[in-house]
Structure 1
Amino acid sequence: MKTLILGIGGMTNGGKSTLARRLHQQIPNSCIIAQDTYFKVVFFPQDDSVVPVDCSGFKQYDMLSALHMDKMINDVDLWRKDPEAYMNGQGLNKEMKTLTADKGVFVLIVEGFLIFNYGPLNVLFDKKYFMEIPYDVCKERRSSRVYKPPDPPGYFDGHVWPMYLRNREEMMYLLTFPKEELLAAVYEDVCQETEIVEVSSSKSNEGVVLHVLFNCHNCVQL
């Protein structure tokens, strides 16, 4: 059995989740682990102390300390030990494809804004992709989304963007593409890796998918 772990990182509202879902739809025997589902506030919604507050009064969500990374790495390890059993446990057995059953190729797509900043997780990725968008686009997207709790006034410029810049500097071994190229790149890499996905560049976002699929294909063959 062959396994491949993809890391899709990048800034808030940069398209990580969208790319991960697109890949999952096109890669047989794949599943997604999303970092956003491991915020401590998700596990302890009534405990405000799980998320620290800075001197400006902003909640520090954009830090590893705000996340249950031990739980996340545990789930990744469960997948590594037995991808098929993990998918069955997550109710994904119906999504498993028979096209790669004889090859035993399973792909884990890990997406999140700090996945490359956590050492024990960072070393597990076979391929890494980092998505970036301009400041003004990021701010506009952030303001158009509904968060619980909602962002307080000045939160983006006072916390979100500065933390993104700081976290980005800490990341190592990153591969950055414009969004269109990244989607095509991702798809192409995995396509060649598994030899079961058709490459399509008819849509602008396909560039990223194609590139990743291509790289995944090469990794599986090694």
Structure 2
Amino acid sequence: MAAPLIIGLSGASSSGKTTVANALGTIFPDSSIIHEDDFYLPDNQIPYNEEIHEYDWDCPGAINFENLTEVVKKLKLDEAFDRQKYMHLETTNISNQIDKHFCVSPDIHNKLRTLAQETFFDRKVYLIDGFLMFGSKQLVDLMDIKLFFRTDYETLKRRRQARKYNVDAGVWTDPPGYFTKCVWPQYYHYHKGIFCDGDDEHKDKKYRWCS
């Protein structure tokens, strides 16, 4: 059997990467999805943003990248791993009204499934989905295919503010200023090194690791 194929899907929060990962998971015959969200540190270790007086779940310091990298290494070697050891399996369920607008016609979906079955019939596919992964060269180097999702500031803000998170205490939405002070700045800063000129304001950018 061929070595597993590692596909990384990254981009800003609400850029559509998880929606596409879930769709791809229905196309590849032997696929599994690993979500970066399952590698959050425990609640008491999440960094605190003093400016808006909120915990910052959208910064690199909130994610256990060491464990995520170790898991991807094991997947690449097709080795088993203990999920309880590496992953914080308390991913928050998200009620996202954007996802229902994403659709592929049954005809195209069936054609893609047939093509994938013919091409990857003897190969496992792991879809690694996360909003900060491509800022880590270690993770990027482990991925065979990298899909980076880019969307403009206003679209991301609108989508993010429409999200509702189902948590133990009820339904949680981003507090005022959270997108502006946490989500966008962390995405922008952490991914500046990806683009050849360090900017994500134009659509014709090339990625450093693609040049």
Provide the TM-score with structure 1 as the length reference.
0.62
Distance in structure 2 (CA, Å) of the matches to 1:102 and 1:14: 27
Matched with 1:24 is 25
Alignment map for 1:26-175 (pairs within 5 Å): 26-40=27-41, 44-45=42-43, 47=44, 50-56=45-51, 57-82=53-78, 104-147=122-165, 148=167, 150-171=173-194
Matched with 1:2 is 3
Deviations, residues 122-145 of structure 1 (Å, cap 9, x unaligned): 111111111112222111111111
Question: CA shift at 1:60, angstroms?
Answer: 2.6
Distance in structure 2 (CA, Å) of the matches to 1:141 and 1:101: 35
Letter in 2 for 1:59: Y
Matched with 1:218 is none
Runs (4 or more) in structure 1 with deviation over 4 Å come to: 99-103
Deviations, residues 139-190 of structure 1 (Å, cap 9, x unaligned): 11111111355422111112211222112203369xx9xxxxxxxxxxxxxx
Aligned to 1:23, the other structure's residue is in SS state helix
Q: Check 1:170–1:100 CA distance in 2 against 1; reply closer, same or farther (3 A cut).
A: same
Residue segments in structure 1 that go unaligned for 5+ positions in a row: 87-98, 177-222
Distance in structure 2 (CA, Å) of the matches to 1:101 and 1:122: 24
Distance in structure 1 (CA, Å) of the matches to 2:122 and 2:24: 18
2:36–2:68: 8 Å Cα contact kept in structure 1? yes
Pick the structure with more helix per residue. 1
Deviations, residues 84-118 of structure 1 (Å, cap 9, x unaligned): x57xxxxxxxxxxxx56996312111111111112
Pick the structure with more strand per residue. 2
Give the alignment's Cα RMSD to 1 decimal: 2.7
Q: Check 1:51–1:19 CA distance in 2 against 1; reply closer, same or farther (3 A cut).
A: same
Question: CA shift at 1:34, angstroms?
Answer: 0.9
Aligned to 2:33, the other structure's residue is in SS state strand
Residue segments in structure 2 that go unaligned for 5+ positions in a row: 82-116, 201-211
Identity over the aligned pairs, expressed in percent?
Answer: 30
What is the aligned length? 156
Q: Check 1:159–1:101 CA distance in 2 against 1; reply closer, same or farther (3 A cut).
A: closer
Q: Check 1:166–1:72 CA distance in 2 against 1; reply closer, same or farther (3 A cut).
A: same
Higher relative contact order (CA 8 A, sep 6+): 2
Aligned to 1:123, the other structure's residue is in SS state helix
Aligned to 1:13, the other structure's residue is in SS state coil
